[in-house]
Structure 1
């Protein structure tokens, strides 16, 4: 029976294996489109867009031009594609400038031209372009309300596209009659490419009526000006059946499923059986944490539903309903809830982290926890449950030295959760 002497190092190695499986250098080469007779224009948005552009430049044997936008601090040097930076998770003026720049890049193209769209998670915030008479402040208000609502990412993006002049396929429509090939790194549970970055080049079938139902379901308090716009016909998004999109091509080049399987194979090579619960988990981070804790405790106590030693993996994107004013993100919140659930149950170690390298608004990807996390917090005079109540998981893990900070990874295939039970 294999024994992992250093669980923290083992879990970190698995994270890097999962990230490597979604490395643009690995996934783009097999997905290059045919060269056009005319121009090649490269566009992109997301936390890994600059790294995707850098790789694409090296792989593309021919002339090209274009621009991509990424989060501040996530840029990568490119020679022919301009890399712009903007704010995330709340949009700013630089994001507005970037959106206008991308639309300008596709202006006046012909049917002999090719647009290559490099799309990954984070692009929704990085591409603000208020529709109609809405302002950037209005779009920021929408994002603030969504981020604190607990709504799943699919609901968020269905609403976002109805207040945008670039999302929901509008960028691709602006590029017509050029062909658009979208190379998508999915951070969306279920891997619907139209939902990644709110689908600037990929329309979906959600309607403004759907958006209004979601606003009601999640009790979003949006400015009346925004509500009036969504109720109006002006908010209607492009229809996927429109002939403008007929020639377009969509390729999912990386996803959580592939990354989790890569981590599972590495664990098995080390003598640890691995199981993947799901690559598309959603729900409140603290509730998902409790469920994972219950499974891990069952394995410790009864070797059920899995025999130990075992690595339990899951992906997807949880959400956090803001109740307090602490620091953290969905992965640290998940992990603090899990730590409360496994307190005192020996032999359990865990890592939860966002594969893009940033969890929430801080500079960490996530954190580590084990069966002693809550008792170590107590020894430091800290009540783990109280920190969870006020959404302050980052402060708790930082106090005991268990923050995980790998830095920007250059890709984004959603959350990575790994629980080792020995």
Structure 2
């Protein structure tokens, strides 16, 4: 087996284990003599400080998201007899029973979209928190995927089923138009009775403690699961509606969404602040804690590399904020890998300055028929983190073999707005396919017999798009004959899943029960 392939599957395992939701809860909360103590270092900025609170048969809990099962069970152990009621809403493909738990488990959100099941479960949470008193403690366990599971559409019309239907139409239109997670949650949070801080508002006057595992770039509280306990979001419904309309205008779909939703948002802009909301803002007792994120997983990979695999060689944590279109990112990873191989083989010289690097990368991109302006940010990131590194320059210029590794994380998009025939896949599979096409095409006349290279992008939740795969991987094979047109066809139709099924290179983990967005691993032994 390839050393890169062996190391990759070890790093995949390490990354998922590092974000185990039960362990993250244990790391952040303790029960000492019926006093809950929480780690101050995890508190989001601009929060009221609540790092300890007494509990006595007065705790109510709601968990929602892809990590809800593990978070809820561990928190139940910590709270013990003081838990009065707990409700957890899980993805449809996760278990919904635990024989030793008194938590009520529900499932919904098929293919990461709100549905009738998630609405029914959310109504139970709505009813529970609406009856809390100032002596109660409400604990919200929030994780990625929660936007589809904590779902209760606003009353756009008197028909509840129709309200869900038109909200779904709007969400699907956003996704098809290439909306990133920030844009998506900016809009859908305005269309909900429990998002944008409204869950913590409903729980008032109880004390609300929210423990959050982030799946969003840079961990903005108001965006993670659409910010159900982000108290300050409640106060400006008009500004939130303005932002939502700006997103819809930017994507050129404001006139395409259902009229009832468009009218709802326009009316919301002119609404004043409700006196009850003003009272909540003056007296709220809400504190959010960030207990897990993408950075945690990438740091665990870096530690494993340091300990086991690449102790004497070159490794980079590129970024935890990788965005842009998946194909664009895959192409830049592919071009960068090709350049490194060529430098090592002394076919080209080390690229000394940023301008030369930018021009070279853009020339390759233009040769592939793409607009190089779309790649500006990711090109700059690669140069500043990798090609300006003197240690790499020294080692890649030597005669010795080296092991090279790049780790990154974030969330990219797939824009299918101009695609007539859409296949099956997800952003991670699409990025990996773009890498494969780019790298194999560039290497067509540059065989390297000793090259051991693997690239992969995968979702930490084990699910990539509407597929049962977490992602895919590419492993360099000098003997494989490039079928350029086949790769182009699969890319153009966004049909990466079927390509990797054909080539047996899907990553199948099953649902991991956690979610900190996507991870990329590039390993080169040369």
Q: Check if 1:66 corresponds to 2:90.
A: no
Q: Equivalents in 1 of 2:207, 2:502: separation in Å?
A: 52
Alignment partner of 1:91 out of 114, 128, 145: 114
The alpha-carbon distance between structure 1 residues 171 and 252, as it changes in their structure 2 partners (threshold 3 A), is same
- Work out whether residues 335 and 438 of structure 2, in 8 Å CA contact, stay in contact via their aligned partners in 1: yes
Whether the aligned pair in 2 keeps the contact of 1:176 and 1:244 (CA below 8 Å) is no
- Report SS of the residue matched to 1:213: helix
d(CA) in 2 for partners of 1:46 and 1:144? Answer: 19
Greater CA deviation, 173-182 or 79-88?
79-88
Q: Judging changes above 3 Å, is the alpha-carbon distance between structure 1 residues 75 and 377 closer, same or farther for their aligned structure 2 residues?
A: farther
Deviation of 1:75 (Å):
2.6
Cα deviation, residue 25, structure 1: 2.4
The residue correspondences of 1:8-407 to structure 2 (distance < 5 A) are 8-32=5-29, 33=36, 34-37=53-56, 39-64=58-83, 65-75=85-95, 77-78=97-98, 79-87=101-109, 88-134=111-157, 135-203=163-231, 204=233, 207-220=240-253, 221-233=256-268, 242-243=280-281, 246-272=284-310, 273-302=314-343, 305=387, 306=392, 307=396, 308-322=402-416, 323=419, 324-343=421-440, 344=443, 346-372=451-477, 375=480, 378=483, 383-407=486-510
Answer yes or no: is the 8 Å Cα contact 1:155–1:214 preserved in 2.
yes
- In 2, Cα distance between equivalents of 1:17 and 1:240: 46
CA distance in 2, matches of 1:47, 1:388: 29
Equivalence for 2:384 = none
Q: Which moves more between the two structures, 213-222 or 233-242?
A: 233-242
- In structure 1, what is the equivalent of residue 49 of structure 2? none
Label 1:382 to 1:82 Cα distance change in 2 as closer, same or farther (>3 A): farther
Question: Within 2, Cα distance between the matches of 1:364 and 1:325?
Answer: 18
Structure with max Cα Rg: 2
Quote the Cα distance in structure 1 between the aligned partners of 2:267 and 2:317: 44
Deviations 1:102-149 (A, max 9, x none): 111212111111111111111111222111224110111111112212
Q: Is the 8 A contact 1:151 1:218 kept in 2?
A: yes
SS in 2 for 1:168: coil
8 A Cα contact 1:293 1:341, kept in partner: yes
Which deviates more from structure 2 when the two are superposed, residues 6-15 or residues 322-331?
A: 6-15
State the shift of 1:227 in Å: 0.6
Sort the Cα spacing of 1:391 and 1:235 in 2 relative to 1 into closer, same or farther, 3 A: farther
SS in 2 for 1:61: helix
* Gap runs ≥5 in structure 2: 30-35, 37-52, 158-162, 345-349, 351-386, 397-401
Aligned partners of 1:245, 1:340: CA distance in 2, in Å? 57
Q: How far apart are 1:83 and its partner, in Å?
A: 1.3
Structure 1 vs Structure 2 CA RMSD? 2.4
- Partners of 1:373 and 1:352 lie apart in 2 by 21
1:174, 1:328 → 2: CA distance? 38
How many aligned positions are there? 417
Please tell me whether the aligned partners of residues 68 and 82 of structure 1 are also in contact (alpha carbons under 8 angstroms).
yes
Shift of 1:355: 0.2
Q: 2: CA distance between counterparts of 1:95 and 1:67?
A: 12
For residues 316-361 of structure 1, the C-alpha deviation after alignment (integer angstroms, 9 at most, x for no partner) is 1111112241000010011101111211374321121100010001
- Distance of aligned partners of 1:223 and 1:374 in 2 relative to their CA distance in 1, 3 Å threshold: farther
Whether the 8 Å contact between 1:51 and 1:76 is mirrored in structure 2 is no
2-side partners of 1:235 and 1:354: how far apart? 40
Worse-matched range after superposition: 38-47 or 275-284: 38-47
